[in-house]
Chain A
Amino acid sequence: MIQNKVSSLWELSSPGRRAVLVPSSDVPPADLPLSLRRTVAADLPEISELDLIRHYTRLSTLNYSIDTRFYPLGSCTMKYNPRLNEQTARFAGFASSHPYAPEDKIQGNLELMFRLQEGLGELSGFDSVSLQPAAGAQGELAGVLMIKKYHASRGDTGRTRFLIPDSAHGTNPASVAMAGFTALELPSDDRGNIDLAQLKKLCDQSIAGIMITNPNTLGLFEEQILEVIRTVHACGGLVYGDGANLNAIMGVVKPGELGFDVMHFNLHKTFSTPHGGGGPGAGPVGASKILRDFLPGPVAAENSEGPGFTLLQPKESIGRLKTFYGNYGVLVRAYTYLLSQGGNGLRDVSENAVLGANYLMTLVKDILPPWYDRSCMHEFVTSGDNLPGGVHTMDLAKRLIDYGFHPPTVYFPLIVPEALMIEPTETESLEILDAFAKVLREIVRESREDPQLLHEAPHTELVSRLDEVLAVRKPILKSVISTG
């Protein structure tokens, strides 16, 4: 039988069926007062272990992933997730350790945190690092709050605005707003850099700082980065670096040396930890000397009174953003990667990521020209604006699915019409880059000859394009459970 739909867990259920048996009680039963007891049982599925495994295995086959195919999703750095990382994170000493165990029983964890802090600091040129933020966006919030507290600590309270380039990730303005600042949009110039003249006009005593992704979301290194940083510093503002694109510059330049004051790392991107269908990630922050005391804590430190490691709260810390000490399991994976690559290896990663992106860009230049005609970093942005036959970037993206590729990022950054953002990463071979370029060429040809084929794509999946308007108008946010 060909299944054209996947049954829900409840459709596979039958009253009384079990997967896991709970051990019988070796202590006397105790009565929960009737007033506290549940009146209606939670209607969880009742399913056998085999059916459960089949259900999730079936679902897994409906998922596109790095393990199955090429995933050139710009700004997301979908590189290979080494199996070694998975094994080390599952070592019982890590996976079964408790954050409130006494310090002498968690020395391995603290040492790992300390070494990872050191490694990230050295790679980025920052004085100190906190591993506490659970994701990039939480790292952003941490950094912006650190800048807020820094100004407050100096009695400099009139700085209410934060500069955000118009090409920025959406989380940047959202984080700034969460921290209580007003986001002020900064235009890009005709080479895709921050418009320096506009920046100079906007910089005054009301500016708390600027948030820059560098290389930026157009895949370009800011050509006047030193001048940008100098200008913001001159008006008393600080510079936040969104480290989403660190994969392009490891070992090639240190943001801290350029004058950035604080930056987050996306360990799930740059350090090869799995994205897990949306998470978990980890977003450590690195800070320069003037901001290190404001870092979220606790951070790992060498014990001043003897051998070993301890946890410290930075003196002027913005506080905690998360319970315990960050997404530790992700940190183990990232540290595993750091050790396996080493300094030279990380530099190789960036060089090859940038080489691969430029190669792919060159292969498709004539059909999908880069929006800015410069060499790119680890990703490049093109546009479907001039596709024939009324074909949109989204149509092209969906047609790629028919050819077995995951679509690149579409419609971001917002300043490029019909944007298509492609990031191959360093772990994809020459053969795959060639094959992808060939398919793009084929699809552009199809858009001329048979645009309808693209409008209706994808054709090969269990479902075709889903009605997102209907999803909002008539929300169905949980399964209908038919109790048998």
Chain B
Amino acid sequence: MSYIPHTADDRRTMLETLGLSTVKDLFTDIPEAYRYPELKIPDGLSEMDVKEKLSSLARKNHASEEGLWFLGGGLYRHFIPSVVDAVLSRGEFFSAYTPYQPEVSQGTLQAVFEFQTMVAELYGMDVVNASHYDGAASMAEAALMARRCKPGRNTIYLDEGIHPEYKEVLQTYLTGTDALLKEGPPGEDAACFITAYPGFTGEIKDLKSLGNRTHEAGALFIVHADPLACGILESPGACGADIVTGEGQPLGIPMSFGGPTLGLFATTKALIRKMPGRVVGQTMDASGRAGCVLTFSAREQHIRREKATSNICSNQGLLALAAAVYMAALGKQGIRETAQLIYNKGVYAASVLGSLEGFKVKTEGPFFREFVLTCPRPAREIADELQKKGIFPGLALDRFDGFPENDLLVCVTEMNSKDDIDSLAAALGEVSR
């Protein structure tokens, strides 16, 4: 099918205006030997055929809506209120571009401005930008920013409990620098110390003491914080964070096989000029009417080019909008209640699964949404057996280097009922025998 409006007559009119007989004459700057190559791509299909083809591919996947779902590990199944997709589906939002002309983009600009405000509330920070690609890219950009803030300090220290894939992304982003990546408490050469809140396996650390130790070492304190968890947890800002990054997917964004998701990035007033990415600010027109613009663009690559704070250009505007609608829909009470509900369900699941014969909850202390369950035999075997029955008990952690093969990362959200959790317990009890 075609989305081109031109009829044969239209094309003739255009070619006549140009004084040409064929459209091929417009391509003569291309070396002739390479022009109009053979193209082994089949002809286009009708809308009906395309839909059928895509639908048959989609059916080859297992959607999380079917069966018992306890699989997380960095990407989560949460409830998405109907209003989120209703707003996102408005063409005026999804078919717009980066708001370079503010007078005709106040919709996107105000939505992002309010997004920044809500994330700033959850994180307890001064400044939030208009979004990075994903949580890992945010964390990597935060590490690069720390090096700009702390010249001469070349090491990025990571707390234990950083998602293994995040570490890989950090490593890739640091390839172009002479920075080192180390795990452990920050030393004298530390540009920053990065911790996750909660950690990859769900544990909630005491941020305040980590922050104090980091600042004593003269480094920036970077917290990768789950925005939904911040509905009940003390905000990273109140614990002394200099930069907060996060993955915004839990805020109303579908899993979509891992992307697109939403990188969150927040910092303090003092560091704003070192911050990468787009930020929306409020200002006035000549008649004193308030309006929003993209601001602090002097840090960006379209002005500073090779001296820019980052190469980030297109961002995740539509997903920032999704997160904004989600946060506004849940509101002050709803975000706290949802976080509390997730916390309750996690504690209940741990108590039920941990009391099964042969199983043990490995996570010590409080956790949010996920915990490690040590199984009586390899977790992958157990998961494989249950998945055949449509039960997804969690993530076998031996997927990543350095994790014991009996450890299963169980994820419990507000979407899991008590019955689901009890059924999982029964199923685990059976396969462990």
Contact = CB atoms under 8 A, between A and B. Distances in A.
B37 A125 contact: yes
Contact of B387 (A35, A105, A472): A105
Interface stretch (B84-92, B150-158, B183-191): B84-92
Interface stretch (A51-59, A231-239, A443-451): A51-59
B104 A461 contact: yes
Interface residues of A, number: 205
Given A44-B330, A109-B257, A319 B168 contact: yes
Contacts of A279: 98, 131, 260, 314-319
A149 B165 CA distance: 20
B43 A342 contact: yes
13 contacts: A25-B345, A62-B106, A67-B92, A109-B57, A277-B108, A278-B278, A279-B319, A326-B258, A327-B259, A341-B1, A362-B17, A466-B283, A472-B295
The secondary structure that dominates the A interface is: loop
Given A272-B3, A332-B54, A471 B318 contact: no
Contacts of B402: none
Contacts of A464: 103, 285-287, 289
Nearest to B247: A323
A320 B310 contact: no
Contacts of B313: 135-137, 170-171
A464 B171 CA distance: 45
A324 B315 CA distance: 18
A105 B259 contact: no
A122 interface: yes
B4 A348 contact: yes
B204 A36 contact: yes
A45 B331 contact: yes
Given A280-B316, A351-B23, A323 B256 contact: no
Interface string A267-282: 0100010111111111
B302 A322 contact: no
Contacts of A368: none
A285 interface: no
B43 A92 contact: no
Contact of A19 (B6, B81, B295, B314): B81
A466 B90 CA distance: 26
Nearest to B197: A36
Contact of A93 (B60, B171, B172, B341): B60
Interface string B104-116: 1111101111101
A84 B130 CA distance: 28
A61 interface: yes
B299 to A, nearest CB: 10
Contact of A64 (B105, B116, B285, B348): B105
Given A44-B335, A277-B318, A278-B130, A466 B395 contact: no
B182 interface: no
A174 B310 contact: yes
A436 B56 CA distance: 43
A318 B106 contact: no
Interface stretch (A194-202, A384-392, A427-435): A427-435
Interface string A72-100: 01001011111010111111111111111
Contacts of A13: 331
Contacts of A73: 97, 100
A53 B108 CA distance: 15
Contact of B61 (A94, A468, A479): A94
Most chain B CB inside 10 Å of its own CB: which residue of A23, A249, A324: A324
The 7 closest A-B pairs by CB, nearest first: A324-B258, A93-B58, A276-B318, A67-B91, A343-B41, A342-B44, A108-B60
Given A44-B122, A277-B112, A332-B54, 7 more contacts: A27-B344, A45-B327, A52-B83, A86-B89, A98-B257, A279-B317, A471-B282
